[in-house]
Amino acid sequence: MKDQTYNGWTNYATWRINLEFGLSNGAFDYDANQFQNYVEELLEMNCENGQTLSYALAFIDDVNWEEIAEHANEN
């Protein structure tokens, strides 16, 4: 079985979303659902068309929100 981790994170999507949105920088006290809702709301506000939003939401389906929350709450 091929290792699918990325830079120490579950996968590329988790690493990239955490990096791009600065989720584990200590500025948030969120649980996994709150992180997901936060990112979805930002995407909905910033995607100018439905197709772009659709692709973005499909990408974040692979995010391990629990991992992001655990990492954020450690800091």
Residue 52 inside a domain? The answer is yes
Residue 6 inside a domain? The answer is no
Cα end-to-end span (Å), the chain: 32
Residue 43 inside a domain? The answer is yes
Residue 2 inside a domain? The answer is no
Residue 4 inside a domain? The answer is no
Token pair of 19, please?
């990096």
**Domain limits at 39?**
12-74
| CB-CB contact of 51 with 43 (8 Å) | no
Residuewise pLDDT in 10s, the chain (75 residues): 566 799 999 999 999 999 999 988 888 889 999 999 999 999 999 998 899 999 999 999 999 999 999 999 886
Domain count, the chain: 1
pTM comes to: 0.88
Residue 21 inside a domain? The answer is yes
